[in-house]
Amino acid sequence: MFLDNKNIILLSTGSFNPPTNMHLRMFEIARDHLNRLGLTICGGLISPTHDSYKKKDLAPSLHRCAMIEQALVALPWVKLSDWEVKQNGWTRTRQVLQYHQNHLNMIITSRLNGSIKVDTSLLPVQLIENLNVSDSNQNTAVNVRLLCGADLLESFAVPGLWNDDDIEAIVRDYGLVVVSRSGSNPHKFIYESNVLTKYMANIIVVTEWITNEVSSTKVRRALSRNESVKFLISELVESYIKEHGLYETLNHDNTLKIYPMDDKKLNIDEPDNLHCTEKRVINCKNSKVRNVAESKENCSKVAILVSENGIIEVISDMETMV
Ligand SMILES: Nc1ncnc2c1ncn2[C@@H]1O[C@H](COP(=O)(O)OP(=O)(O)OP(=O)(O)O)[C@@H](O)[C@H]1O
Ligand SMILES: NC(=O)c1ccc[n+]([C@@H]2O[C@H](COP(=O)(O)O)[C@@H](O)[C@H]2O)c1
């Protein structure tokens, strides 16, 4: 039931839309903690989810992979794996772990057997160096562990999201390294789950005392409002985003409502059924309102109302916007 803890590779799955500094810090925090427990971390992998994963505002994987590569310039012991995004559809996390563990161990075995044509690009440098000096009796097999934030762990309880079999296989065969997030209580969550309690020895909870609640959602929101994201994401990622015009508009296609000014005056009175958390009037003389809605028309002023559930309503000064 207990995993052999030699040669751990931390694998993190998610949208990385975009990758934030906290995605990177998660690896550092986990490595420090595991080292302190006497465990060896050989490397890390980031495996972004497939484009068909149903998540609002998900940028194409081409961009997400490129942004991860930019972010990882500052974290060379972690590598991007684009295997998931290259599949025909979304892959369950259990299979992602299975693929990477089998694949990496296959590469290691081939390498030890002297096969020259082995693509080692996913292997951490440290492990390759060990392999170069190792005799074949040495235990070089890797254990790929799922590295996640406590919110991902707690998503195990969302009805219909995860198969029970998969949850059991993930904790039994691979193991978890869970980084705390404010508002979560991973120890309590494990206690309340029979299967997680059964395999508790394979779950390492890392308490992050220097809490940082940056999330991709908040970064996307800031970008769409043209607010600074400095120190939340790497400068290289920020440059990539700007260069490709990503996240300039938030996609609320199904819920966007645009009121011509005749209907609602531009004094941002709330429409009857909308409780606003935010109200803003934007001056945009002779410009397209790109950060609010795809409009072909120019306008000079719009009012934006953002409700608690993320619905954006726009009041424009030109009927032609509608
Ligand atoms: N601030 C954070 N603290 C701890 N873990 C985090 C944090 N941000 C992201 N993670 C973890 O990183 C992994 C990938 O996360 P994901 O791409 O969903 O990022 P996110 O910022 O939570 O995204 P979104 O805001 O789009 O839901 C998940 O395991 C998630 O729990
Ligand atoms: N059944 C499963 O294996 C399952 C269910 C939900 C999410 N996931 C994964 O967890 C990650 C969640 O990412 P987000 O937090 O960005 O939604 C993604 O990599 C996704 O593929 C896996």
**162 C-beta closer than 6 A to ligand 2:** yes
Distance from the alpha carbon of residue 93 to the mean position of ligand 2, in angstroms: 7
Report which of 212, 207, 208, 200 is spatially closest to residue 176, judged by C-alpha positions. Answer: 200
| CA dist., res. 51 & res. 90, Å (int) | 8
Question: Residue 227: which residues within 8 A CB-CB, separation 6 or more?
Answer: none
Which of 81, 152, 205 for mutating ligand 1's site (highest number of atoms within 8 Å of CB)?
A: 152
Q: What CATH number was assigned to the domain covering residues 7-244?
A: 3.40.50.620
Report which of 246, 178, 232 is spatially closest to residue 24, judged by C-alpha positions. Answer: 232
**Residues in the chain with pLDDT values less than 50:** 252-268, 270-276, 283-299, 308-311, 318-322
The one-letter amino acid at 282:
I
Tokens at residue 253, please? 């296609």
| CA dist., res. 59 & res. 16, Å (int) | 9
Q: Specify whether the CB–CB gap between 61 and 34 falls below 8 A.
A: no
Q: Quick one: which ligand is closest to 98's CA?
A: 2
**26 C-beta closer than 6 A to ligand 1:** yes
**pLDDT confidence of residue 56:** 87
**pLDDT confidence of residue 174:** 97
Q: Can you tell me which residue has the tokens 């080292």?
A: 35
Tokens at residue 277, please? 């958390």
Tokens at residue 163, please? 């198969």
Burial 151-183 (b: 16+ CB within 10 A, else e): bbbbebeeeeebeeeebbbbbebbbbbbbbbee
**pLDDT confidence of residue 111:** 73
Q: Quick one: which ligand is closest to 19's CA?
A: 1
Distance from the alpha carbon of residue 57 to the mean position of ligand 1, in angstroms: 15
Residue nearest to atom 5 of ligand 1 (CA): 149
Give the angle 79-112-124 at the CA atoms, nearest 5°: 15
